[in-house]
Chains A and B, each alone.
Chain A
Amino acid sequence: MKLLTCPINGVRPLSEFVFGGELRDMPPAECSDKEWADYVYNRNGAPGLKKEWWYHSPSGTWFVAERDTLTDNVARTYLYEQEGAQ
Chain B
Amino acid sequence: MPLRLLKYALSKEYKETRFFRENVTPKKSYDAVIIGGGGHGLAAAYYLAKDHGITNVAVLEKGYLGGGNTGRNTTIVRSNYLTPEGVNFYDASVKIYEGLSEELDINLFYSTRGHFTLAHTESAMRTMRWRAEVNKHVGVDSYVVGPDEISKACPQLDISCSGHAPILGALYHGPGSVARHDAVAWGYARGADRLGVDIFQSTEVTGIDIKGGKVQGVQTSRGYISTPRVLSAVAGFTPRICKMAGIDTPIVIHPLQACVTEPMKPWLDSILVSGSLHVYVSQSSRGELVMGSSLDPYEVHSTRSSLDFVEGLTSHMLDMFPFLSNVKIVRQWGGMADMTPDFSPIMGKTPVEGFYLDAGWGTWGFKATPISGKTMAATIANDMAPDLIKPFRLSRFEEYELTGEKGAASVGH
Contacts and interface: CB of A to CB of B under 8 A. Distances in A.
B7 interface: no
A69 B301 contact: yes
The size class of the interface chain A forms with chain B is 10 to 19
A43 B302 contact: no
A19 B251 contact: no
B302 A18 contact: no
B14 interface: no
Contacts of B391: none
Given A43-B252, A45-B239, A45-B242, A38 B299 contact: no
A6 to B, nearest CB: 15
Q: Which of the listed residues A41, A44, A69 has the most CB atoms from chain B within 10 Å of its own CB?
A: A41
Contacts of A69: 253, 299-301
Nearest to B396: A41
Given A47-B239, A47-B240, A42 B397 contact: yes
Given A70-B301, A72-B302, A43 B240 contact: no
Q: For the complex, would chain A's binding face be called helix, strand, loop or mixed by DSSP majority?
A: mixed
Nearest to B342: A41
B65 to A, nearest CB: 24
B297 interface: yes
B398 A47 contact: no
A15 B297 CA distance: 10
A46 interface: yes
Nearest to B301: A47
B201 interface: no
Nearest to A71: B302
Given A18-B297, A37-B397, A37-B400, A42 B239 contact: no
Interface in A37-86: 37-38, 40-47, 52, 69-70, 72
Interface of B: 238-240, 242-243, 248-253, 297-302, 308, 338, 341, 397-398, 400
Given A47-B301, A69-B253, A69-B301, 17 more contacts: A15-B308, A33-B398, A37-B398, A40-B397, A41-B341, A41-B397, A43-B250, A43-B251, A44-B239, A45-B239, A45-B251, A45-B338, A46-B242, A46-B243, A47-B253, A52-B298, A52-B299
28 contacts: A15-B308, A18-B297, A19-B297, A19-B299, A33-B398, A34-B398, A37-B400, A38-B398, A41-B250, A41-B397, A41-B398, A42-B248, A42-B249, A42-B397, A43-B249, A43-B251, A44-B239, A45-B239, A45-B242, A46-B240, A46-B243, A47-B239, A47-B240, A47-B253, A52-B298, A70-B301, A70-B302, A72-B302
